[in-house]
Structure 1
Amino acid sequence: MSQLKLISRVSRVLSGAVKRSELFEINKVNTNNARTMASKGLTVENMNPNIVKLEYAVRGPLVIRAGEIEKELEKGAQKPFKRVIKANIGDAHAMGQKPITFIRQVMACLALPDLIDKGIFPEDVKQRAREILDACGGGSVGSYTASHGIELVRRRVADYIQRRDGHPAHWEDIFLSSGASTAIKNCLQLFCNDLGGKTSGVMIPIPQYPLYSASLAEYGLAQVGYYLDEEHHWGLDLRELERSLAEASATCNVRALVVINPGNPTGQVLTRDNIESIIKFAKKHGLFLFADEVYQDNVYAAGSKFHSFKKVLVELGDDYKDVELASFMSVSKGYMGECGARGGWAELRGVNAAVRAQLYKCISAMLCPNVLGQAAIDCVARPPQPGEPSYELYIKEKTDVLDSLKKRAEMIVDAFNQMQGFKCNVVQGAMYAFPRFELPPRAVAAAAAAGIPPDTFYAFRLLEETGICIVPGSGFGQRPGTYHFRTTILPQPELLREMLDIFKKFHQKFTAEYSG
C-alpha cells in the first residue's frame, strides 16, 4: 500500500469513516506485488536502510493528508471547514507575509537585467544588481558561481557578522549554501567515520528540528538527545548535557553538539550565561559546536536578546580560540521569509585548515548554491543604508513584520494557556509555539488501538475536523508521557484569531468525547 493510501486509511479510521479493525490491513503483504518486486534491482528491502529509517515530521503523514484534503475541497467535497490552515511549517510567505521590496526588486533586476535601465526601480537597487551581475560569469545569474559562493557576497556576509558582533570575521571562513539546511548537512557529513569500532554521535536537543534526526539517520550517525528544560522556559541545563554525554559514550563516540538558538520548535532564546556554559562544555569534552542561528532576527520577549555563539566564543578569550564552531544563518526566516530562494551561509571558526579544504572540496561536487539565493543573502548582509533611496521603505517593512510577529507570539501563548489542560511557555523568539497538553486516558487508548502515538491521533482528528494542520510533538521528541505539538505563529492576525477560536472549540469537543 502506498504512503498516500496508508495516510488516507489512517485518517479515515480516526474520523470514524471505517472500522478501526481495517487498519490492520496495512500490515498484509500482497503476494503478487512481492513477486513482481523480486525482479527489481532496487526495492525497499535492498535499498540503503538509512533512507528507510529517515523521517521528517514537518513534511510527514499529516502534511500529505492535508494536501489530499485541499484537493478534495477543490473538487467540492463537503467538509466542516472551508480551507486547510497549514500551521505545520515555517513558510512565512505561504501564510501571507509580504516580501521585502528591496530584496525582490534586486532579484527581479538580476533575473531580467533589461529592467535595470527601465527607470522603474530606485538607484540603489539598480546599483546592487549591477554589482552582483558583474561578479557572475557572463554577467548572468544563469551561470555557475564558485562552489562555496560569490566572493563579493561572502565578503559582505563577513562585514555583516563583524557589525553584528563587533569582532572581525574573515570571508574565507564563510561559505554560501542553498539554504542553511544544506550547509548543516555538509558539515554533518564530515563526521561519518567510525572510530575505534564505535559510531560517531551528535548531540541534539529534544525537542529538536527534524532536519537533525533525519540527517543523522541518513548518514548513519548516532543521535544523542539531551532534553531541554520545559519548566524553565526550555532552557539548557549543563547537568543534562553531562548526563546525555556520559550515557551515550558507552555506545558511540560523541563528537559534536547542536544548539538551536532561538529555538525550534520551542521558541526560547538562550541567555549569554547559558551560551558561555555550553561553550565551556564543548571545550571540556572536545566537541564540535553547531550553532543553528537562523532565527536571530526573531526575538520578541522583554528581556530576551540574541547573542551569537561566535561573539561569546571570542569574548571568552584565547583559552577558547581552538573551540570548533560552525554557525548557520538563512534568508528563509527572520523578517525576510524567502524560503523558496534557498539562500544560507555558514561561518567556520577554530576549524583545522585542512578540514576546511576538504569540506570545500566536498561542496564543490554540488557545483554551486542557488545564485538568486546568493543575491538574497547579499541583500540581507548589506541592506539599504541611511540616505539610500530604499532605506525608509526597507526599515518600515522590516519593523512591521517583526512587530506583527511579536503580537502574534503573545496572542498564541495567551490563547493556549486559557485552554483547559494546556501549558504554553512564552515564545521568546523564532516562529513557533510548542504547547504541552493533557489527553484523557480513553483518547490514549484509542490511539493505541489505531497504532499511532496519542499526539498524532489528536493531530489527525484536528486536521480531519477543522482543517488545521500542526505537527505532533512525537515528531520532534519529547519526554516520555508528555504530549505536545508545534504550531507556527505565522498565520496573519485575522486568520490566527480564527484558527485559535476553532482550535479551542475542537479541544473542548475532543475532551468531552473521551472523558467520562
Structure 2
Amino acid sequence: MRALRARRPHRLPAMAAAAATSLGSGSGSGVLGSGGPRPPVLSGATMNPAVRRVEYAVRGPIVTRALQLEQELRQGVPKPFTEVIKANIGDAHAMGQKPITFLRQVAALCVFPELLQEAAFPEDAKARARRLLAACGGHSAGAYSASPGIEAIRQDVAQFLERRDGVPACPQNIFLATGASDAIVSILKLLVCGEGSGRCGVLVPVPQYPLYSAALAELGAVQLGYLLAEERAWALDVAELRRVLGEGRRRCQPRALCVINPGNPTGQVQSREDIEAVIKFAYEERLFLLADEVYQDNVYAEGAAFHSFKKVLAQLGPPYADTVELASFHSISKGFAGECGFRGGYVEVVNMDPEVQQQLAKLVSVRLCPPVAGQIILDAVVNPPQPGEPSYEGFMAEKRAVLSALAQKAKLTQEIFNRTPGIRCNPVQGAMYAFPRIELPPRALQAAQAQGQAPDMFFCMRLLEETGICVVPGSGFGQKEGTFHFRMTILPPADKLQVLLQKLSAFYTKFVKEFS
C-alpha cells in the first residue's frame, strides 16, 4: 500500500493531461483538439424549433427590463421614480392582498401536524386537516399522491361542482393539476395531431391569454384567432367563429374551441345566451370545447353573472348534453384566494371518450402528481367553512372584503382611464385586468418602427422607463389590426392603484403631445 501511495503523485499529472486531451478533442468546451473546436450537441441551430416560436408576453422582455430597473434602483442608480410597480401579472399576494386565514390554517396544519395540538387553531380547520392527512400516504403531505390527485379532494371538488351547477359530478372525471395552466396543456396534448393541412387547429379568442398561443406553438398546432367585439364590451360573436372556422379549414383541421370566461385580458363576462350559442356551434361543427373559468368568482358588473359551461350544457339537454365534449378549468391562483405560488387547480372532463380519458390518466401520471400543498389549498377553497362552524363568519368576511375591493377597483380603473382623451376602457365586468385601447400618433408609430418594436410595446417600454409602471402591450395578447392596447392588473391596493392610474394617464397625455 505504501508503494502505491508513493507512485500516485507521479501518475496524476499524466492522467490529467490525458483527460485534457480527451476534452479538447471531444467536448463542447471550445478547447482545441486535433480537429478544432467541436460545436455543442444542443445549439440555437439544433434546438427544438417549436420552442423558438413560443412567446409569453406576461413575462416577456418588458418584465425583464422591469427586473433590471429594480436592480438598478437597489444599486442607487438615479431614476425618475422610487419603485417599479409590476402591474403586468395577476399575482394577488405580490400586490398586497392578504391570504385568507382559513386556507392557510388548513395548509399549516397539514404541513406541520404538531399544530393540531394548538388551541389557537379552530376545530373546523383541524377536522379538515385530519381528514386530508388520513388521505395522504404515511399521513404526510410530503408523500406523493395519486397522479390525478388525492381521492378525497377529488370528491370534494365533485361536491363543489354539484352545488355550483345543480347537476351530478363524478370524481373520476376530475383531474387535479399544477394550476389550471398545466391542465390546459394536458388537454391540448390530447387534441394535437396531424401534419401539413391535417394539423390540429384550435380557435382561441383575440385578445387571448398567451398561454394558449405559447402552448399551441410548442405543440405544433395552428392557432385560429377569433376577434372579440370590442365595441360591444368584448362580446363573443358566433358569426365571427363561423368566419374563422371556414378560413381555418383551408389550412388545417380545426378540432377545438377555447373560451375564457370571465375574460383575460379583456374582463368581460359572457352572457348565458352567448354560452348557449357557443355550445350549439361546437355541436354543429364537431369541436371539442375548452372552458377556461378560473375567474368565476371575479364578477363585478351589475347584472352580470357567471354561468359555467357545464351547467348550461346540462340544461340544454339532448343532443347537446350527452354529445358535446367539454373540459373546464379552475384554479386557486385567482378568485378570492390568490394563492398563485401553491400551484393548484383542476380540470373536469364531460363526455370524453373513455379510451381518451384513460390516456389522460396515463399522461398525468408521467408527472407523478400535482403539488400536495396546492391540492390542500384547493380543498379548502372548494370545501370552505359552513354556517355554524367556528371559522365561517371570519372566512366570509375576508372573502367579501377581497371581492368587494376588486369591484371598487374595477370601477375606479375604467373611470380614470375614460376621463383621459385618447384612452378608451370597456367596463371591467370581471377577472382582474383592464385592457384599455390607446390612440397613438403617426410619429409614435414611426419611432416604434425605427426601433423595431410594435407601437404598443414602444409605448409600454417608455412608460416603464419614465414612471416605473410595468404593463403588458396588447400585441402580446393579440388585437384587431390597427388598434393598440395594454393590459394591466387592478390588484394593487386602492390608494396605490389610484396613483398608478393617474400617473399612467398623465404619461399618456405627455407621450401623445411629444409625438404629435
Is 1:477 the counterpart of 2:470? The answer is no
2:443 aligns to what? 442
Structure 1 length-normalised TM: 0.92
* Cα distance in 1 for residues equivalent to 2:224 and 2:117: 55
* Cα distance in 1 for residues equivalent to 2:111 and 2:141: 7
The 10-residue stretch of structure 1 (188-197 or 112-121) with the greater mean CA deviation from structure 2: 188-197
1:305 aligns to what? 305
1:501 aligns to what? 502
Q: How big is the alpha-carbon RMSD for the aligned residues of Structure 1 and Structure 2?
A: 1.4
* Cα distance in 1 for residues equivalent to 2:301 and 2:363: 40
SS at match of 2:390: coil
Is 1:393 the counterpart of 2:362? The answer is no
Is 1:107 the counterpart of 2:104? The answer is no
Partner amino acid, structure 1, of 2:313: L
Is 1:98 the counterpart of 2:101? The answer is no
1:327 aligns to what? 328
Partner amino acid, structure 2, of 1:153: I
Summarize the Cα distance change of 1:36–1:156 in structure 2 as closer, same or farther, 3 Å threshold.
farther
1:337 aligns to what? 338
Would you say the 8 A contact 1:433–1:488 is kept in 2? yes
Would you say the 8 A contact 1:87–1:487 is kept in 2? yes
Unaligned runs of 5+ in 2: 1-29
1:5 aligns to what? none
Rg bigger for which structure? 2
Is 1:199 the counterpart of 2:199? The answer is yes
Would you say the 8 A contact 1:436–1:485 is kept in 2? yes
* Cα distance in 2 for residues equivalent to 1:81 and 1:254: 48
2:415 aligns to what? 414
Is 1:89 the counterpart of 2:89? The answer is yes
* Cα distance in 1 for residues equivalent to 2:184 and 2:173: 15
Partner amino acid, structure 1, of 2:421: Q
Summarize the Cα distance change of 1:138–1:453 in structure 2 as closer, same or farther, 3 Å threshold.
same
2:174 aligns to what? 174
Give the superposition deviation at 1:192: 2.4
Would you say the 8 A contact 1:201–1:224 is kept in 2? yes
Would you say the 8 A contact 2:197–2:251 is kept in 1? no
1:228 aligns to what? 228
SS at match of 1:223: strand
* Cα distance in 2 for residues equivalent to 1:434 and 1:195: 35
Would you say the 8 A contact 2:235–2:270 is kept in 1? yes
* Cα distance in 1 for residues equivalent to 2:36 and 2:116: 58
Give the superposition deviation at 1:45: 1.1
SS at match of 2:319: helix
Give the superposition deviation at 1:322: 1.1
Summarize the Cα distance change of 1:293–1:37 in structure 2 as closer, same or farther, 3 Å threshold.
farther
* Cα distance in 1 for residues equivalent to 2:227 and 2:165: 29
1:440-496, Cα deviation, whole Å (9 max, x unpaired): 110000000000100000000000000000000000000110000001000110110
* Cα distance in 1 for residues equivalent to 2:45 and 2:421: 46
1:266 aligns to what? 266
Partner amino acid, structure 1, of 2:447: A
Is 1:165 the counterpart of 2:165? The answer is yes
Give the superposition deviation at 1:507: 1.1
Alignment of structure 1 residues 25-174 onto 2, 5 Å = 39-174=39-174
Partner amino acid, structure 1, of 2:91: D
1:214-241, Cα deviation, whole Å (9 max, x unpaired): 0000100111110000000100101000
Summarize the Cα distance change of 1:247–1:488 in structure 2 as closer, same or farther, 3 Å threshold.
same
Partner amino acid, structure 2, of 1:229: A
Summarize the Cα distance change of 1:149–1:464 in structure 2 as closer, same or farther, 3 Å threshold.
same
* Cα distance in 1 for residues equivalent to 2:192 and 2:399: 40
2:247 aligns to what? 247
2:287 aligns to what? 287
Would you say the 8 A contact 2:197–2:253 is kept in 1? no
Give the superposition deviation at 1:37: 8.9
* Cα distance in 1 for residues equivalent to 2:351 and 2:202: 18
Partner amino acid, structure 1, of 2:209: Y
SS at match of 1:346: strand
Summarize the Cα distance change of 1:507–1:37 in structure 2 as closer, same or farther, 3 Å threshold.
farther
Would you say the 8 A contact 1:202–1:254 is kept in 2? yes
Summarize the Cα distance change of 1:249–1:37 in structure 2 as closer, same or farther, 3 Å threshold.
farther
SS at match of 1:50: helix
* Cα distance in 1 for residues equivalent to 2:38 and 2:66: 33
Could you tell me the percent identity over the aligned residues?
56
1:4-51, Cα deviation, whole Å (9 max, x unpaired): xxxxxxxxxxxxxxxxxxxxxxxxxxxx99x99961000111111000
Give the superposition deviation at 1:509: 1.3
Would you say the 8 A contact 1:37–1:43 is kept in 2? no
2:433 aligns to what? 432
Partner amino acid, structure 1, of 2:87: A
1:451 aligns to what? 452
Give the superposition deviation at 1:193: 1.2
1:19 aligns to what? none
